[in-house]
Amino acid sequence: MNFIVCIKQVPGTTEVKIDPRTNTLIREGVESIINPFDAYAIEEGLRLKERMGGKVTVISMGPPQAESALREALSMGCDESVLLTDPAFAGSDTLATSYTIACGIKKIGEFDLIICGKQAIDGDTAQVGPGIAEKLGIPAVTYVKKVEEMSEARIRVERMMEEGYEVIEMDLPALITVVKEINEPRLPSLKGMMRAKKANVNIWNASDIACVSTKIGQLGSPTIVNRIFTPPPRKGGEMILGDPTEQAQKLIERLREAKVI
Amino acid sequence: MGIRILEDKCTGCSLCVESCPFKLIKIVLREKVSKPHPKYKKIAVIGQGCNLCGACLEPCTFQAILIERVEEKPRPDISKYRGVWVFAEQKKGQIQGVVHELLGEGRKLADQMGEKLCSVLLGEGMDEAAKELIAYGADRVYQIEGSILRNFQDDPYTDVLTELIEKEKPEIVLMGATAIGRSFASRVAARLGTGLTADCTELAIDLKKRQLLQTRPAFGGNIMATITTPYNRPQMATVRHKVFRKAIRQGNRHGEIIKESVEGRKFSLRSKLVNMIEDITQTVKLADADIIVSGGRGLGGPENFRIIEELARTLGGAVGASRAAVDAGWIPYSHQVGQTGRTVCPKVYIACGISGAIQHLVGMQSSEIIIAINKDLNAPILKVATYGIQGDLFEVVPALTERLKEVLG
């Protein structure tokens, strides 16, 4: 079976800091990582391949340096990789991104299951996964925490909800987005790293994937960012002193004043 | 299309450098990148990765930065789109809490624009719920009935809502940023080819342009972005729980209910709901909770979550956990708050024995009141806490529970 995993390279979060003087995001020296949720998607792709046989292709859209994220995925055991990169993709919102990745997937060819992380930790939108499914005309289930069963034609998954979970059966080909609970991603093996170093990463631009120029990049994006600002930093508040009983009493008084209890 | 520094205007003054949220602007010697200038030796250059946010335009006193948003494609006619819609998500016939918040906010937007507030309700046997939506502020309810719509299922829901939007042409469509809302809205927006902004925490209207100004956190709340959908309609947004005030119920409100049935119609059903399993511990409903009590590494072991649960129960709240506690296997993942867990914004968040790594903070820092109980005075959580208690959580938490039981009776 053919599995496709979509990944995004994001800034390593532990490093995301705000410059206290300018209140802007410090990006310098920030290492790039595979979006954490996408690591679960890669692992699930590899596990399903081990169970069902087949091939895992990993795809990403981004600047040329995103190639390193694809090599990391290859070192974990993915078979092939594709980077969609073109200055024409710049300024893409979630709709244009969904369309572009869908075009890339069409060029890859036949597939049975597409796996994405539930969202990227920089944009936090969770919109691209379902967007790709819509652009490819296939069904999707988001927030998957377990793949219960899979056959040639169908998949049965558990979807995490606010009050528990749903069991959903879906026809293939299809797309799922996964949450952390689904598995524990493996570390790259030494052999994998050696192989990834030498492996070919397919690099495709806008004309390679035959996308319509008005549907990509800024022109293909219905939304625009008007303004970016930093929320006022949360000020540290009051330290409540005393022994535990006094602390409890004072805290309850504060909560009563705030009318929350 | 893109961003340019106008060589004849840029003085190399560096005012723009700090305004860039992504630190992409650098000041370099002119000779390296362009022609010399009689007066100015330096010039600004913009690095790769610019998303044309425009933050640098205002600080530049010389109007030396130009963003060209060239229109090369015919834009759809959006003049016929009118009104504000709220998608009334229901589960087992129960309208979800966030819908009442959306009706409250939607009412304000509709009044400002002089438009109707409508709500769309998909389900089976929803007559009473439809009337309730009127009581909570809707002028009109589109009630679509059918057994296939009883529970949310991707295909029929998407077909029904996109058709209704294409027919009735609302200007704005709001949904809750729930598990269902966030994926359903994406599919609908992608099918309509319109803009969708995820997880908004602030909405406003630019009346002149009739644009919805949608403000949302990104980078886990470290930056905020205001997003618009200038050329497409409807303007769609999912909205976070607990950010807007719930609409006040007025039993005597009048409104119009347009009821349709899709019974008998054939829908494709490529993904099918087989079963719904509810978590038996009610304390897990983090999204809806007004109060969340969370435990972290400081608890030392799974058995000690007992004191967290007891405090949560006393307050009628939910139980959260840090990643450390979840990864140690002390409590299921569904309780995890933070970047790889859930984002929550209750009225009160009580962090017990959680140091407050950035990944945890981004998941809870928009809570109204944060209380941190920690031994370590240097724990980052104390820097964001409204009330900090330095102490042993095994003493403070039980003391708090006990005192609360007395006070709350």
Cβ within 8 Å, pair B190-A135: yes
Both tokens of residue B22?
């992504």
Separation of alpha carbons A237 and A235, rounded Å:
6
Q: Which residue in B186, B218, B276 is closest to A131 by CB distance?
A: B186
Q: Domain of A42: which CATH number?
A: 3.40.50.620
pLDDT score at B400: 97
Question: 69-108 in A: which are within 8 Å (CB) of B?
Answer: 90-91, 93-95, 98
Distance from CA of A209 to the nearest CA of B (A): 19
Q: Which of A15-24, B310-319, B329-338 has the lowest mean pLDDT?
A: A15-24
Q: Which helix (H) or strand (E) holds A238?
A: strand A238-239
Comparison of pLDDT for B74 and A106, the residue scoring more:
A106
Model confidence at A14: pLDDT above 50: no
- Tell me if B84-261 shares its fold with B282-408: yes
Q: Any idea where the domains of chain B sit in the sequence? A: 2-68, 84-261, 282-408
Q: Which two tokens stand for residue B243?
A: 């950010």
Mean pLDDT, residues B287-294 taken together:
91
pLDDT of B1 higher than 60: no
Question: Which pLDDT score, from 0 to 100, does residue B281 have?
Answer: 64
Residue B232 sits at the chain A interface (C-beta within 8 Å): yes
What pLDDT is recorded for position B283?
57
- Confirm whether A164 is domain-assigned: yes
Give the model confidence (pLDDT) of A65-116 as tens digits.
999 999 999 999 999 999 999 989 988 999 999 999 999 999 999 999 999 9
Residue A58 confidence (pLDDT): 98
pLDDT at A16 over 70: no
The DSSP secondary-structure symbol of A109 reads -
* Pick from A167, A171, A240: CB nearest B270: A171
A184 interface with B at CB cutoff 8 Å: no
Residue A258 belongs to some domain of the structure? no
Spell out which residues of chain A touch residue B386, defining contact as CB-CB under 8 Å: 237-238
Element (H, E) at B258: strand B256-261
> pLDDT confidence of A31, banded at 50, 70, 90?
confident
Does A234 reside within a domain? no
Q: HSE (CB half, 13 Å, CA atoms) of B1?
A: 19
Please say if the pLDDT value at position A180 is more than 60: yes
Range of the domain at A22: 2-215
**CA-only gyration radius of chain A, Å:** 22
| Residue numbers in B near A98 (CB within 8 A) | 190
Q: Over chain B, what is the mean pLDDT?
A: 92
Provide ipTM, 2 decimals: 0.92
B246: DSSP letter: P
Q: Is residue A117 part of a domain?
A: yes
Question: Mean pLDDT across the stretch B134-141?
Answer: 98
Count: domains in chain A? 1
pLDDT at A23 over 50: no
Q: Mean pLDDT in chain A? A: 91
Count of all residues that appear for chain B in the document = 409
Whether residue B16 lies within 8 A of chain A, CB to CB, comes out as no
Residue A15: the pLDDT is: 45
Asked: is B2-68 a CATH 3.30.70.20 domain? The reply is: yes
B182 has a chain A CB within 8 A of its CB:
yes
* Assigned domain for A156 exists: yes
Q: Which of A157-161, B58-62, B221-225 has the highest mean predicted lDDT (pLDDT)?
A: A157-161
- Residues with Cβ within 8 Å of A219's Cβ and at least 6 positions away in sequence, in order, are A213, B1, B72, B73
- Residues A181-219: tens digit of each pLDDT: 999 999 999 999 999 999 999 999 999 999 999 999 989
The predicted model gives A48-52 an average pLDDT of 97
A232 touches chain B (CB under 8 A): no
Reading the block at residue A245, the tokens are 């009983």
Residue B381, CA atoms < 13 Å, CB-side half-sphere: 32
- The candidate with the shortest Cα–Cα distance to B345, out of B212, B201, B218, is B201
The confidence score (pLDDT) of residue B285 equals: 80
Picking from B126, B131, B143, the residue whose alpha carbon sits closest to that of residue B253 is B131
- Superfamily for domain range B84-261: HUPs (3.40.50.620)
Q: How many CB pairs under 8 A join A and B?
A: 301
Contacts of A167 (CB under 8 A, 6+ apart): A148, A156, A157, A158, A159, B273, B274, B275, B276, B277
Interchain pair B55, A254: CB under 8 A: no
pLDDT attached to residue A22? 47
Determine, yes or no, domain membership for A62: yes
Q: Which residue does chain B place closest to A121, by CA atoms?
A: B219
B222's tokens: 């470290």
Per-residue burial over B266-303, b if 16 or more Cβ lie within 10 Å, else e, is ebebbbbbeebeebeeebbbbbbbebbbbbbbbbeeee
Q: Is the pLDDT of residue A168 over 90?
A: yes
Architecture (CATH level 2) of domain B282-408: 3-Layer(aba) Sandwich (3.40)
Does residue A182 fall inside a structural domain?
Answer: yes
Q: Please tell me the least confidently modeled range out of B96-100, B208-212, B336-340.
A: B336-340
Calpha distance B185→B105 (Å, rounded): 18
This prediction has a pTM of 0.87
Say whether residue B403 is in contact with chain A using an 8 A CB cutoff: yes
On whether residue A255 sits in a domain, the answer given is no
- State whether residue A221 sits within 8 Å of chain B by CB: yes
Using a CB-CB cut-off of 8 Å, the residues of chain A touching B221 are 231
Complete DSSP assignment for B45-62: EE-TT-----TTTTT-TT
